[in-house]
Each structure stands twice: as structure tokens, then as C-alpha cells.
């Protein structure tokens, strides 16, 4: 699943063709994705201008300017397991975001099409339909079901070791499960938690109460992993000499080195 760094990459790829641009037409080819699309989804977006494109955790947030009786709204977009955007413009076709697991892009999975006023076409495809889109009033954004209760952004200025320590206090879950909890830190997923624990030298099996300090870097891209999807390969940490192992925790694959992660 695309995680925070990849979602941010997609946001940055979409921003030049969406921010400050008006939506001329929306084509909705099915009534639902993971969930039913909002009532009058296409009609509510057609003719509206997008003022800004933000991201919160794994959500892309398109802020829609007020128009007529309609106040400011936010289009919330989640890529799920296989959602992707394709930009069709004068310079040719572009795919904002490259992910570790390939995603088929057959046209029969092109579910939502945004035709912009300048002629650019943005197509959302999702062959598994685990992604979704929703429209909420801007005033309700922070309290809506999607965003309410999310933890701090790991790349935000407010995030620090003391904040993480406070949010982990009293937890008895394995450290990996605690970090995957979006209430602890927003946007982390299976891949980057594996990578962060390897960099910090912490075993994913340890309970939160077993350690007092972590030191890891989050936010690199899905093509240079140290442990994820490298079962049976030699650990790349200098001087370690261990082997990457795969175990299953809560139905998800965990990759780690049992020699240097304690």
C-alpha cells in the first residue's frame, strides 16, 4: 500500500495540474469505490476551483473554493492498495508516484475522470477498489471520521522524541503494532515501520515497554529497502553478518534482522 512518502509524491505530482485550476467536468463511471461515492459527487465538483492540495497521513486533500450556495469543501482521496492517478496533458502521459508493488492500469479500472478547464485530464484507476473519495465541509475536516484521532505527522515540526514517548507510554503491544497505529504517528505503514525498526536496531517483537530510545529516519522511497521484502538476504548493516528474516505479525509480513535488532 502506498504510504506517507509515496502519497506525498503523488500530491506533489498532482499539485501543478490541480492547484488554482477549475474542474470543467467530472466523469463518474461507478457509484462506489471502497465506499459509495458522496451524493451528486460529479455535479458537486463540476465547475469548482481547487485552491490548494494538501496531505494528512495517507490522505490527499483537495480544498474546493466556495461557489454559489456551496461553501468551501474538501475532496478527501485515499489510494488504498492499488489506486493511482494518471495525468494526460500536452506534454504526454505522466504517472505521479512509483510504488514497490506494481499496479495494473487497464482502462476498465478507470473509475473517476477529472477534466480540467485547461484541457488536462486526470484519471483515477483502482483495480481492487480499496481506495475512496469523499467530500466534507472544510469546517468539519478535522473532526470527520477519516481524520479524527490521527497522530502527529512524522515529518512535521511538532513531532519529536518526547511526543513519541508520550504516545507510547503505557502501551503493551509489540513496538511494530504500536507504530502502525495511526493514533501514534500518522501515515506510517508496514514497509516503513520495518525499515525504521531496522535502522534503530529494535526487534519488531519487543513490547513498547522494553526500550527507552529510538533513532530512525523515515521518508525514503520504495526502491532502496534495507530489510523489507529481502527475506533470506544478508543484512546490509556494516559488521552485522546476520540474515534478514520474515515473520507474520497481525496478518502482515515483518522483515527484520534477528542479529542486530534487539
Catalytic center residues = 2-3, 58, 252
157 vs 167: CA distance, rounded Å = 16
38 burial (CB, 10 Å; 0-12 / 13-18 / 19+) is middle
Q: How many CB atoms lie within 10 A of CB 257?
A: 24
User: Where do the DSSP E strands lie in the chain?
Assistant: 23-28, 50-56, 59-64, 73-78, 84-89, 92-94, 110-116, 121-125, 132-137, 244-249, 252-257
Contact present, 141 and 59 (Cβ < 8 Å): no
Q: How many CB atoms lie within 10 A of CB 253?
A: 14
The helix (H) or strand (E) run that includes residue 73 is strand 73-78
Amino acid at each position: 500500500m502506498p504510504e506517507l512518502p509515496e502519497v506525498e509524491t503523488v500530491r506533489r505530482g498532482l499539485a501543478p495540474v490541480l492547484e488554482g485550476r477549475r474542474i470543467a467536468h467530472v466523469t463518474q463511471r461507478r457509484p462506489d469505490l471502497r465506499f459509495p461515492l458522496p451524493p451528486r459527487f460529479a455535479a458537486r465538483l463540476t465547475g469548482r476551483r481547487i485552491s490548494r492540495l494538501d496531505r494528512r497521513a495517507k490522505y490527499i486533500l483537495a480544498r474546493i473554493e466556495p461557489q454559489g450556495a456551496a461553501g468551501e469543501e474538501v475532496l478527501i482521496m485515499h489510494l488504498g492498495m492499488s489506486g493511482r492517478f494518471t495525468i494526460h496533458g500536452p506534454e504526454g502521459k505522466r504517472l505521479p508516484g512509483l510504488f514497490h508493488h506494481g499496479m495494473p492500469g487497464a482502462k476498465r479500472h478507470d473509475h473517476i475522470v477529472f477534466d480540467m478547464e485547461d484541457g488536462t485530464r486526470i484519471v483515477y484507476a483502482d483495480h481492487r477498489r480499496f481506495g475512496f473519495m469523499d467530500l466534507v465541509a472544510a469546517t468539519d475536516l478535522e473532526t470527520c471520521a477519516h481524520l479524527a484521532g490521527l497522530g502527529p505527522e512524522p515529518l512535521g515540526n511538532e513531532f519529536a522524541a518526547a511526543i513519541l514517548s508520550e504516545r507510547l507510554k503505557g502501551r503493551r503491544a509489540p513496538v511494530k503494532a504500536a507504530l502502525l497505529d495511526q493514533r501514534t504517528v500518522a501515515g506510517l505503514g508496514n514497509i516503513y515501520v520495518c525499515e525504521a525498526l531496522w535502522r534503530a536496531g529494535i526487534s519488531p517483537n519487543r513490547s513498547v515497554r522494553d526500550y527507552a530510545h529510538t533513532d530512525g529516519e523515515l521518508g525514503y522511497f520504495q526502491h532502496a529497502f534495507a530489510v523489507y521484502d529481502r527475506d533470506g538476504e544478508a543484512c546490509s548493516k556494516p559488521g552485522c553478518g546476520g540474515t534478514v528474516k520474515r515473520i507474520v505479525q497481525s496478518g502482515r509480513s515483518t522483515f527484520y534482522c534477528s542479529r542486530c535488532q534487539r
